[in-house]
C-alpha cells in the first residue's frame, strides 16, 4: 500500500517535466509597431485602452511590457469588482458624526502604493456595469482609490472587448472614453504560429533620446497648434452618431494627450505608423488623419531652401508629395517674383523631370512660364522641358478624343 | 507625332503612360493625389496593368503600346479605384467570412470589384477601356458594392471571356508572382496609404457637386464605414436599459452578501430588475412588414439577452391613432394594424401611460412623423428606416408638411443602412 504514494507523486513529476518542456520557449527580436505604440503611451503616463477580441494575448503582452519596463504588474478584472472596490469601502467607525466615514482602499491598491511603482492592468473594462465604470473614472483620471492616491510611478492600462464580440457588454461612456488612448489590438498570424512553435517575438522597446527632448516638444507644439489654429472646429467634437460612441473623440484633454504622444514618438524616433495609431486612437480617425496630413506637410522641404539650392535639393520620391513641393516652389516665386528666383525655379523643374515622372512637372511649368516678365530671357534649361509640352499636348488630344468617342 | 516603340521586347513608353495619367488627373481632379502617389513598376509578367496593396502599379510595356492614350487614362483611374476602395482588404474579409479559398474565388472577387468601379467611373471625359467588365454584361444591376456583386457572379458563358482579367493583388488580395511584396522598394506604408485616401476623401467632400454619386458615397464611408445596424441597435438598447433606474445596478437598498465578511463596512449589492421595453411600431403604409418583423425580433432578442423576459416586451402599433399595448409573447403573434398617416405622439403618450411603466421606449419608424415636444420620462431609442426619396415626394404633395428630424434626446439608429458586408 505505501508503494502507490510515490508512484502517483512521480506521475505528477513527469507531468511537471512535460509542462516544463511545453513552456520552454525562446524569444527573437522583431519590430512590433503595436507594442511600440503601447510602450510610448505608457511611458508618456497616459492611460491606454486596448481593444481586442478575447484570447489574442493582451494579457501576455502586458506581462511582457511589465517585465521590459521593470514594473510589477497588478491585474484587476474590472467586471468582477464592485464600485466600492475603486471608490473605497465605507467603514463605519465609532463616532461617524465627528470622525467621518473613511473610504478604505482594497489591498491591491495598498500594495501598489507601498511599492511606489507598478503597472495597473484593468481587464474586461467594457463588461463592467455602469456604476463600476463611473468609479473607474476617478481612478483613471485622478488616480485616486478611496483615500489613497496612486504614486506617479504607477501606469494604467485597460483592456476591453469590442462591441461586436462582447455579447452582454456595456459601452464606454464618452467621458471615460475621452481619457484613454485607444489602441486596436490584433494578432499577427505569423507571430502566433512561430510563437506556438516555440519562438515568441521580443520587441525592441523604443528608447527616448535625451538630446532630442527640447526639439521634440517644440515639434509637437508646432504640429498641434498649427492644425488647431487653422481648424478651430476640431478642438472639441463630442461623438453624435451611434458608430462613434465609446471610441476616441477630440477635446482639449485628448489634444493635450496627443501633444505628449507626438513629443514622445519624436524623441524615440518612432515610425509614422506608430504615431498614426497613437494619434488616431486619441482624437479619433478624422482629426487624427488631418493632424498626420499636416505633419506630412511639415516634413516637406521648405520652398525657399529648394530655390536657394536647386542642385542640392532633395525632392520627395512620392509623386503627390513631389508635386506639392513643386507647386510650393512656383507659389514662392509668384509671391516674390524676381529674375534669379525664376531661373532657379526652372532649374528645380528640370531636376524634377530628370529624377521622376514627367507629368508632375506640366502644371508647375505652365504656371511658372506665365510668371515671365518682359525683360526676362528664356533660360537655356527650358529646352529640356520641351518634352513636357509635348506630353501636355498629348493629354489634350486624349481629352478631345475622349469627348469625340462619347 | 507619337514615338513608335517596338512592342515586342521593347521598353516602356513612359511618355505615353504619363500623358495618360495627366489626362486622367485633369478629367478627375479629385483623384490626382492618388494617381500621383502610385509608384509605377515596369513588368513583363503582368498581362495588362495591375496594382498591389502597397500602391505599386505594375505596367506591361506591350499593353501600353496597344492602348490608345484616352483608354489608358481610364485604366489608370480604374486601377487607382481598386486601391482607394480598399478592394484587397474587403476581399480578404469576404474570403474569411464566406470561406472562399480558391483562386477562382479571387477571380470572381476581381470581377465583382471591377463591376463596382466600372458602373460609375467612366464617361464625362474618360473613356472606358475596351473589354472593361460592366454589370449589365453579366446581367447584374448597376450601383452595387463588390460584396453584393460577388454572390451574383458565377463562371459560365457570360464570364468565359473574362478569364484573362487580372488587376493584381490590390484588387482581390491574392499575391501575384510579380508582386514585390511588403519589403520591396517604393511601397507606401499603411499610414501613407491612409493619408492619401484621406486627402482624396477630403477633396471630394469639399467639392461634392463635381463628383459622381458613387465617389461621394465612398468619401462619406471611407473612414467611417457603416456598422451593422443590429450591433448599433443592441448597444443603444443595452445602454438605455442599463441606465440608472433600470436593469441591474448597485443599490444600497439591501446589504451586499460581502457585508458579513467585512464587519463595519456598508456595501451596496447588485440587484437586477428586469427592464421593461415598450416598442412603438409605425404602421403607416410606408414601412414594409419584412423590415418591421426583423427589427422587432431584434429588439426582443436583445432585451432577452440583457435579462428581460419575453413577456416584458410590449408592442404598440401606431399610425395616426395608437393601438392597444400588447405583450410580445410569440414572435408571430404581433398584430400590426393601421396604414394611414403617422403621429407617433399618441403612441408615446399611450406607451408612457401603460402600467407597469416601461423603462425604455423603442420606436421603429421611417421618421415621417411629428415627435413629442418634450423629452419622455424614460429612455428612448429610435430605429429609423431610411427613406431617401419619400420625404421629397410627400413634401411635393403637401407643401405645408415638414417632417421633423428625430429629436436630440433620443438615440437614433439607422436600420438597414448597412448590410453588414463591410
Q: Assess contact for A155 and A140: CB atoms under 8 A.
A: no
**Which chain A residue's Cα is nearest to B247?**
A129
Over residues B238-289, the pLDDT tens digits come to 767 665 554 455 666 666 666 666 666 666 666 666 677 888 887 766 666 6
Rounded Cα–Cα distance for residues A8 and A52 (Å): 42
Q: Which of A130, A246, A359 sits opposite B22 (nearest CB)?
A: A359
Q: How many angstroms separate the CA of residue B352 from the nearest CA in chain A?
A: 25
Beta carbons of B36 and A358 less than 8 Å apart? no
pLDDT of residue B14: 87
Query: Who wins on pLDDT, A285 or B288?
Result: A285
Q: How many angstroms separate the CA of residue A273 from the nearest CA in chain B?
A: 5
Beta carbons of B32 and A320 less than 8 Å apart? yes
User: How many A-B residue pairs are in contact by the CB < 8 A criterion?
Assistant: 179
Beta carbons of A89 and B226 less than 8 Å apart? no
Hey, of B5, B28, B36, which one would you mutate to test binding to chain A, going by the most A CBs within 10 A of its CB? Answer: B36
pLDDT of residue B321: 63
Q: SS3 letters for chain B?
A: CCCCCCCCCCCCCHHHHHHHHHHHHHHCHHHHHHHHHCEEEECCCCCCEEECCCCEEEECHHHHHHCCHHHHHHHHHHHHHHHHCCHHHHHHHHHHHHCCCCHHHHHHHHHHHHHHHHHHHCCCCCCCCCCCCCHHHHCCCCCCCHHHHHHHCCCCCCCHHHCCCCCCHHHHCCCCCCCCCCCCCCCCCHHHHHHHHHHHHHHHHHCHHHCCHHHHHHHHHCCCCCCCHHHHHHHHHHHHHHCCCCEEEEECCCCCHHHHHCCCECCCEEEEECCCEEEEEECCCCCCHHHHHHHHHHHHHHHHHCCCCHHHEEEEEECCCECCCEECCCHHHCCCCCCCCCCHHHHHHHHHHCCCCCCEEEEEECCCCCCCCCCCCCEEEEEECCCCCHHHHHHHHCCCCCCCCCCCCCEEEECCCCCCCC
Q: How many angstroms separate the CA of residue B114 from the nearest CA in chain A?
A: 21
A273 pLDDT above the threshold of 80? yes
Rounded Cα–Cα distance for residues B83 and B36 (Å): 13
B61 pLDDT above the threshold of 70? yes
Q: Which residue has the cell 528664356?
A: A378
Establish if A222 touches chain B: CB-CB under 8 angstroms. no
pLDDT of residue B391: 38
- With contacts defined as CB-CB under 8 Å, which chain B residues touch A53? none
A114 pLDDT above the threshold of 50? yes
Q: Which of A242, A292, A402 sits opposite B232 (nearest CB)?
A: A242
Q: How many angstroms separate the CA of residue B259 from the nearest CA in chain A?
A: 11
Hey, of B39, B190, B201, B250, which one would you mutate to test binding to chain A, going by the most A CBs within 10 A of its CB? Answer: B250
Q: How many angstroms separate the CA of residue B372 from the nearest CA in chain A?
A: 21
Beta carbons of B223 and A362 less than 8 Å apart? no
B400 pLDDT above the threshold of 60? no
B128 pLDDT above the threshold of 80? yes
Q: Which residues, numbered 246 to 305 in chain A, qualify as contacts with chain B under a Cβ-Cβ cut-off of 8 Å?
A: 246, 271-273, 275-276, 285-286, 289-290, 292-293, 296
pLDDT of residue B91: 87
Beta carbons of A359 and B18 less than 8 Å apart? yes
Poorest-pLDDT segment among A389-393, B24-28, B274-278: B274-278
Question: In terms of pTM, does the model score above 0.90?
Answer: no
Establish if A238 touches chain B: CB-CB under 8 angstroms. no
Poorest-pLDDT segment among A1-5, A78-82, A219-223: A1-5
**Mean local confidence (pLDDT), A326-355:** 90
Establish if A83 touches chain B: CB-CB under 8 angstroms. yes
Establish if A92 touches chain B: CB-CB under 8 angstroms. yes
- With contacts defined as CB-CB under 8 Å, which chain A residues touch B249? 129-131
**How would residue B310 be classed by pLDDT, with cut points 50, 70 and 90?**
low
Over residues A291-334, the pLDDT tens digits come to 988 888 888 888 898 999 988 888 888 888 898 899 999 999 99
pLDDT of residue B19: 92
B108 pLDDT above the threshold of 70? yes
**Mean local confidence (pLDDT), A220-249:** 84
Rounded Cα–Cα distance for residues B197 and A276 (Å): 14
B130 pLDDT above the threshold of 70? yes
Rounded Cα–Cα distance for residues B137 and A211 (Å): 64
Whole-number mean pLDDT of chain A? 84
B331 pLDDT above the threshold of 50? no
Whole-number mean pLDDT of chain B? 75
Q: Which of B194, B228, B267 sits opposite A89 (nearest CB)?
A: B267
Beta carbons of A272 and B198 less than 8 Å apart? no
B82 pLDDT above the threshold of 70? yes
Beta carbons of B235 and A242 less than 8 Å apart? yes
- With contacts defined as CB-CB under 8 Å, which chain A residues touch B15? 358, 387, 390-391, 394
**Mean local confidence (pLDDT), A175-197:** 84
**How would residue B396 be classed by pLDDT, with cut points 50, 70 and 90?**
very low
Q: Which of A131, A167, A293 sits opposite B305 (nearest CB)?
A: A167
pLDDT of residue B170: 81
**Mean local confidence (pLDDT), B289-310:** 69
Q: How many angstroms separate the CA of residue B337 from the nearest CA in chain A?
A: 30
Over residues A126-155, the pLDDT tens digits come to 777 777 877 887 888 788 887 888 898 899
pLDDT of residue A12: 87
Beta carbons of B191 and A272 less than 8 Å apart? yes
pLDDT of residue A212: 92
**Which chain A residue's Cα is nearest to B188?**
A318
Rounded Cα–Cα distance for residues A89 and A211 (Å): 47
Establish if A97 touches chain B: CB-CB under 8 angstroms. no
- With contacts defined as CB-CB under 8 Å, which chain A residues touch B68? 398, 401
* ipTM for the whole predicted complex goes beyond 0.95: no
pLDDT of residue B35: 93
pLDDT of residue A199: 80
Hey, of B19, B41, B255, which one would you mutate to test binding to chain A, going by the most A CBs within 10 A of its CB? Answer: B19
pLDDT of residue A256: 95
pLDDT of residue A386: 80
Poorest-pLDDT segment among A66-70, A105-109, A363-367: A66-70
Please choose, from the candidates A279, A348, A361, A340, the residue with its C-alpha nearest in 3D space to the C-alpha of residue A315.
A348
pLDDT of residue A275: 92
B347 pLDDT above the threshold of 90? no
**Mean local confidence (pLDDT), A18-30:** 83
Q: Which residue has the cell 506591350?
A: B62
Poorest-pLDDT segment among A176-190, A335-349, B33-47, B174-188: B174-188
Q: Which residues, numbered 370 to 389 in chain A, qualify as contacts with chain B under a Cβ-Cβ cut-off of 8 Å?
A: 387
- With contacts defined as CB-CB under 8 Å, which chain B residues touch A322? 36
pLDDT of residue A253: 92
**Mean local confidence (pLDDT), A55-80:** 84
pLDDT of residue A167: 44
Establish if A89 touches chain B: CB-CB under 8 angstroms. yes
pLDDT of residue B10: 67
Beta carbons of A82 and B258 less than 8 Å apart? yes
Poorest-pLDDT segment among A227-231, B25-29, B32-36, B385-389: B385-389
**How would residue A18 be classed by pLDDT, with cut points 50, 70 and 90?**
very high
pLDDT of residue B247: 47
Beta carbons of A92 and B264 less than 8 Å apart? yes
Establish if A166 touches chain B: CB-CB under 8 angstroms. no
Beta carbons of B190 and A89 less than 8 Å apart? no
Beta carbons of B23 and A402 less than 8 Å apart? yes
**How would residue A217 be classed by pLDDT, with cut points 50, 70 and 90?**
very high
A173 pLDDT above the threshold of 70? yes
Beta carbons of A399 and B26 less than 8 Å apart? yes
Over residues B156-170, the pLDDT tens digits come to 666 656 655 678 888
pLDDT of residue B163: 53
B48 pLDDT above the threshold of 70? yes
**How would residue B419 be classed by pLDDT, with cut points 50, 70 and 90?**
very low
**How would residue A163 be classed by pLDDT, with cut points 50, 70 and 90?**
low
Amino acid at each position: 500500500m505505501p508503494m502507490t504514494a510515490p508512484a502517483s507523486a512521480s506521475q505528477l513529476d513527469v507531468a511537471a517535466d512535460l509542462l516544463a518542456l511545453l513552456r520552454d520557449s525562446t524569444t527573437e527580436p522583431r519590430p512590433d509597431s503595436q507594442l511600440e505604440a503601447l510602450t510610448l503611451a505608457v511611458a508618456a503616463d497616459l492611460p491606454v485602452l486596448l481593444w481586442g477580441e478575447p484570447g489574442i494575448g493582451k494579457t501576455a503582452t502586458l506581462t511582457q511590457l511589465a517585465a521590459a519596463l521593470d514594473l510589477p504588474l497588478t491585474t484587476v478584472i474590472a467586471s468582477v469588482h464592485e464600485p466600492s472596490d475603486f471608490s473605497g469601502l465605507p467603514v463605519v467607525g465609532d463616532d461617524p458624526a465627528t470622525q467621518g466615514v473613511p473610504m478604505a482602499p482594497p489591498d491591491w491598491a495598498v500594495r501598489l502604493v507601498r511599492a511606489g511603482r507598478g503597472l495597473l492592468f484593468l481587464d474586461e473594462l467594457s463588461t463592467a456595469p455602469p456604476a463600476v465604470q463611473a468609479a473607474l473614472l476617478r481612478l483613471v483620471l485622478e488616480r485616486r482609490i478611496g483615500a489613497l492616491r496612486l504614486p506617479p510611478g504607477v501606469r494604467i492600462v485597460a483592456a476591453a472587448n469590442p462591441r461586436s464580440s462582447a455579447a452582454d457588454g456595456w459601452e464606454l461612456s464618452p467621458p471615460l472614453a475621452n481619457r484613454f488612448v485607444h489602441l486596436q489590438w490584433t494578432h499577427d498570424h505569423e507571430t502566433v504560429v512561430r510563437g506556438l512553435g516555440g519562438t515568441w517575438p521580443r520587441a525592441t522597446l523604443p528608447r527616448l533620446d535625451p538630446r532630442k527632448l527640447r526639439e521634440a516638444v517644440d515639434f509637437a507644439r508646432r504640429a498641434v497648434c498649427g492644425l488647431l489654429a487653422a481648424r478651430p472646429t476640431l478642438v472639441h467634437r463630442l461623438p453624435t452618431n451611434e458608430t462613434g460612441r465609446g471610441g476616441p473623440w477630440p477635446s482639449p484633454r485628448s489634444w493635450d494627450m496627443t501633444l505628449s504622444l507626438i513629443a514622445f514618438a519624436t524623441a524615440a524616433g518612432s515610425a509614422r505608423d506608430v504615431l498614426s495609431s497613437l494619434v488616431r486612437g486619441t482624437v479619433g480617425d478624422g482629426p487624427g488623419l488631418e493632424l498626420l496630413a499636416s505633419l506630412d506637410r511639415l516634413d516637406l522641404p521648405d520652398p525657399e531652401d529648394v530655390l536657394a539650392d536647386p542642385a542640392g535639393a532633395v525632392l520627395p520620391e512620392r509623386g503627390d508629395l513631389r508635386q506639392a513641393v513643386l507647386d510650393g516652389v512656383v507659389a514662392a516665386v509668384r509671391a516674390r517674383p524676381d529674375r534669379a528666383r525664376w531661373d532657379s525655379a526652372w532649374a528645380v523643374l528640370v531636376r524634377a523631370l530628370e529624377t521622376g515622372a514627367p507629368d508632375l512637372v506640366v502644371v508647375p511649368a505652365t504656371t511658372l512660364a506665365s510668371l515671365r516678365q518682359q525683360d526676362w530671357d528664356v533660360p537655356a534649361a527650358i529646352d529640356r522641358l520641351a518634352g513636357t509640352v509635348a506630353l501636355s499636348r498629348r493629354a489634350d488630344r486624349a481629352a478631345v478624343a475622349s469627348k469625340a468617342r462619347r | 507625332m507619337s514615338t513608335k516603340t517596338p512592342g515586342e521586347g521593347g521598353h516602356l513608353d513612359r511618355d505615353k503612360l504619363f500623358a495618360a495619367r495627366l489626362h486622367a488627373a485633369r478629367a478627375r481632379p479629385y483623384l490626382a493625389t492618388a494617381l500621383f502617389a502610385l509608384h509605377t513598376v515596369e513588368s513583363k509578367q503582368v498581362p495588362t496593368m495591375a496594382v498591389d496593396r502597397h500602391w505599386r502599379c505594375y505596367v506591361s510595356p506591350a499593353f501600353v503600346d496597344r492602348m490608345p492614350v484616352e483608354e489608358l487614362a481610364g485604366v489608370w483611374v480604374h486601377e487607382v479605384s481598386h486601391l482607394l476602395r480598399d478592394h484587397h482588404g474587403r476581399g480578404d474579409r469576404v474570403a474569411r467570412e464566406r470561406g472562399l479559398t480558391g483562386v477562382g474565388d479571387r477571380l470572381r472577387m476581381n470581377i465583382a470589384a471591377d463591376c463596382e468601379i466600372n458602373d460609375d467611373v467612366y464617361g464625362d471625359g474618360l473613356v472606358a477601356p475596351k473589354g472593361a467588365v460592366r454589370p449589365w454584361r453579366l446581367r447584374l444591376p448597376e450601383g452595387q458594392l463588390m460584396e453584393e456583386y460577388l454572390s451574383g457572379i458565377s463562371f459560365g458563358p457570360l464570364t468565359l471571356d473574362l478569364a484573362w482579367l487580372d488587376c493584381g493583388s490590390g484588387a482581390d488580395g491574392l499575391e501575384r508572382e510579380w508582386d514585390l511584396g511588403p519589403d520591396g522598394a517604393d511601397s507606401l506604408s499603411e499610414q501613407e496609404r491612409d493619408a492619401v485616401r484621406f486627402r482624396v476623401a477630403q477633396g471630394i467632400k469639399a467639392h461634392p457637386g463635381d463628383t459622381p454619386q458613387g465617389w461621394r458615397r465612398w468619401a462619406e464611408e471611407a473612414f467611417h464605414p457603416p456598422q451593422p445596424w443590429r450591433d448599433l441597435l443592441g448597444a443603444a438598447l443595452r445602454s438605455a436599459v442599463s441606465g440608472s433606474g433600470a436593469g441591474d445596478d448597485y443599490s444600497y437598498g439591501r446589504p451586499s452578501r460581502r457585508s458579513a465578511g467585512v464587519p463595519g463596512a456598508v456595501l451596496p449589492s447588485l440587484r437586477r430588475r428586469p427592464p421593461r421595453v415598450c416598442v412603438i411600431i409605425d404602421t403607416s403604409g410606408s414601412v414594409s412588414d419584412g423590415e418591421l418583423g426583423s427589427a422587432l425580433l431584434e429588439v426582443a432578442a436583445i432585451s432577452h439577452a440583457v435579462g428581460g423576459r419575453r413577456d416584458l416586451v410590449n408592442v404598440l402599433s401606431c399610425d395616426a391613432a395608437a393601438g392597444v399595448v400588447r405583450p410580445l409573447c410569440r414572435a408571430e403573434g404581433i398584430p400590426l394594424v393601421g396604414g394611414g398617416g403617422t403621429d407617433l405622439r399618441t403612441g408615446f403618450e399611450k406607451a408612457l401611460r401603460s402600467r407597469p411603466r416601461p423603462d425604455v421606449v423603442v420606436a421603429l419608424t421611417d421618421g415621417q412623423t411629428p415627435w413629442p415636444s418634450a423629452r419622455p420620462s424614460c429612455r428612448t431609442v429610435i430605429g429609423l428606416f431610411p427613406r431617401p426619396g419619400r420625404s421629397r415626394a410627400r413634401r411635393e404633395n403637401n407643401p405645408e408638411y415638414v417632417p421633423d428630424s428625430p429629436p436630440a434626446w433620443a438615440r437614433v439608429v439607422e436600420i438597414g443602412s448597412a448590410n453588414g458586408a463591410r
